[in-house]
């Protein structure tokens, strides 16, 4: 169910879902990251928008 939610959120933010999932897997965001670091992996972030369109 989590993967489905990530795919639908990517679509809602006009990202390519496969590129977005690959982006997340390549960078492996984790619990030890600060909120600011994790924010860059949100589908609406500038980095995700630039990388995953």
- 2-52 pLDDT, tens digit per residue, is 889 999 999 999 999 999 999 999 988 888 889 888 899 899 999 999 999
- Amino acid 49: pLDDT: 96
- Amino acid 2: pLDDT: 86
- Amino acid 15: pLDDT: 97
- Amino acid 30: pLDDT: 81
Long-range contacts of 50-53 (CB under 8 A, 24+ apart): 51/19, 51/23, 52/10, 52/15, 52/16, 52/19, 52/20, 52/23, 53/14, 53/15, 53/16, 53/19
């Amino acid at each position: 169910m989590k993967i489905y939610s990530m795919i639908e959120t990517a679509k809602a933010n006009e990202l390519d879902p496969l590129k977005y999932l690959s982006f997340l897997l390549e960078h492996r965001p984790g619990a030890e990251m600060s909120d600011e670091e994790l924010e860059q992996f949100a589908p609406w972030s500038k980095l995700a928008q630039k990388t995953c369109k």
